[in-house]
């Protein structure tokens, strides 16, 4: 496909009262600059962020809005300053498409924590162009936020690694998942299932926590060493002071989650890290200092990952032949995927195939 023919069209939110009823619109792409890479999209994964954004759970969104930030496609054109890519390359873009590239974070391979980061969708470039996402025909992004996909990884598998995969890989790496470590994963959905796959590949002993008995067979097949049914009373008691890392992918807490029970499963200086981002009015359950003192544990967050981490993750996936558990649909059926995701009906990540052109 030549760049001159590249159209920028996508399935967009136009009416928030019908949040999953997306209509094709044409949109203005990012103003092309010397460090940009233009990509014709083939696949896009469906992320919880898409649901939170479209339902307005994270606040009022721009309109019209094309979401989607687990993007894979083919390079159609590169700016003159681009050194890593050329037309024809197979690449991915995740949940971030820009940053200042000058601050401490950007210089220390923490561009995902740049305070002037630009999200892949529902953000605005300094020149006023609205960032539109990957449920579309094409995207333009700064080279730093474009990731080469290894030949051995199929596009439909790579897509959801761009956000779900990376978002759990980063904290596993940061907090030392590896041989000799015990890693717990709370919530086995898109992100959670990736966490099992990566943590096992990194050599850790993996404990998967789920309230959904129908997932337990799958979870064992994914490689989890232990599967814990969280509907069982006092499930946490057998695991007091055991885990080095407890990664939570839950994006709904409500009032009744006993966070102290989860924290009690951490060994000394263990870390509870949440990658789930609930709606704005759903804070973490209340804790007391007495929940943190008995094991000197910590609870924290994590935000997607850096390019450095993404490339490491892709190499891990490539070298160990790791494939996610996906369900595929044509992009026109993304509304169904979104509803299923909201109702926790996906096993374990939807990927939609671009069908506009």
Binding residues for other proteins (CB under 8 A): 104-105, 108, 110, 113, 115, 170-171, 174, 240-241, 267-269, 271, 273-278, 280, 282-284, 286-303
CB-side exposure of 32: number of CA atoms within 13 Å? 14
Closest CB to other proteins among residues 90, 250: 250
Contacts made by residues 15-18, CB under 8 angstroms, sequence distance 24+:
16/54, 16/55, 16/56, 16/61, 16/63
Q: What's the closest the beta carbon of residue 257 comes to other proteins, in angstroms?
A: 13
Closest CB to other proteins among residues 76, 170: 170
Q: What's the closest the beta carbon of residue 288 comes to other proteins, in angstroms?
A: 5
Closest CB to other proteins among residues 76, 295: 295
Closest CB to other proteins among residues 81, 237: 237
Closest CB to other proteins among residues 128, 289: 289
Q: What's the closest the beta carbon of residue 97 comes to other proteins, in angstroms?
A: 18
Q: Between 190-201 and 307-320, two packed helices, what is the crossing angle to 10 degrees? A: 70
Contact 200, 168 (CB under 8 A): no
Total residue length of the chain: 357
Alpha-carbon torsion 224, 226, 232, 236, what sign?
negative
Tokens of 321: 């032949």
Q: Burial, 330: exposed, middle or buried (Cβ in 10 Å; 0-12, 13-18, 19+)? A: exposed
Q: What's the closest the beta carbon of residue 353 comes to other proteins, in angstroms?
A: 30
Closest CB to other proteins among residues 202, 304: 304
Tokens of 347: 């096993």
Q: What's the closest the beta carbon of residue 233 comes to other proteins, in angstroms?
A: 20
Q: What's the closest the beta carbon of residue 303 comes to other proteins, in angstroms?
A: 5
Closest CB to other proteins among residues 132, 264: 264
Q: What's the closest the beta carbon of residue 318 comes to other proteins, in angstroms?
A: 26
| Strand ranges inside the chain, DSSP E | 9-12, 23-26, 36-45, 71-78, 90-93, 96-98, 118-119, 138-142, 146-148, 182-186, 205-210, 226-229, 243-248, 266-274, 298-301, 326-330, 349-353
Kindly report the backbone phi and psi dihedral angles of residue 137, in degrees, each rounded to the nearest multiple of 5, phi listed first. Answer: -85, -25
């Amino acid at each position: 496909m030549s760049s001159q023919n590249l159209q920028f069209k996508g399935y967009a939110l136009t009416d928030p009262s019908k949040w999953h009823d997306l209509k094709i619109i044409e949109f203005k792409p990012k103003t092309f600059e010397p460090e940009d890479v233009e990509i014709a999209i083939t696949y896009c994964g469906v992320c919880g962020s898409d649901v939170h954004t479209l339902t307005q759970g994270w606040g009022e969104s721009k309109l019209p809005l094309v979401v989607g930030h687990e993007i894979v496609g083919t390079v159609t054109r590169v700016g003159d300053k681009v050194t890593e890519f050329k037309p024809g390359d197979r690449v991915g873009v995740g949940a971030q498409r820009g940053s200042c590239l000058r601050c401490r974070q950007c210089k220390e391979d923490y561009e995902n924590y740049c305070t002037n980061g630009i999200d892949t969708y529902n953000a605005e470039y300094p020149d006023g162009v609205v960032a539109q996402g990957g449920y579309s025909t094409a995207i333009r992004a700064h080279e730093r936020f474009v990731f080469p996909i290894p030949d051995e990884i199929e596009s439909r598998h790579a897509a959801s690694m761009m956000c779900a995969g990376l978002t759990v890989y980063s904290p596993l790496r940061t907090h030392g998942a590896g041989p000799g470590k015990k890693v717990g994963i709370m919530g086995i959905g898109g992100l959670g299932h990736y966490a099992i796959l990566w943590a096992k590949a990194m050599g850790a002993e993996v404990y998967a926590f789920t309230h959904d008995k129908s997932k337990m067979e799958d979870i064992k097949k994914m490689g989890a060493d232990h599967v814990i049914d969280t509907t069982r009373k006092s499930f946490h008691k057998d695991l007091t002071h055991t885990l080095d890392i407890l990664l939570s992918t839950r994006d709904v807490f409500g009032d009744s989650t006993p966070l102290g029970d989860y924290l009690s499963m951490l060994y000394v200086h263990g870390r509870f890290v949440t990658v789930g981002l609930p709606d704005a009015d759903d804070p973490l359950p209340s804790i007391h200092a007495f929940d943190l003192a008995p094991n000197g544990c910590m609870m924290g967050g994590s935000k997607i990952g850096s390019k450095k981490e993404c490339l490491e993750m892709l190499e891990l996936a490539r070298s160990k032949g790791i494939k996610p558990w996906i369900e595929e649909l044509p992009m026109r059926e993304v509304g169904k995927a979104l509803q299923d995701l909201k109702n926790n009906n996906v096993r374990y990540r939807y990927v939609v195939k671009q069908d506009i052109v």
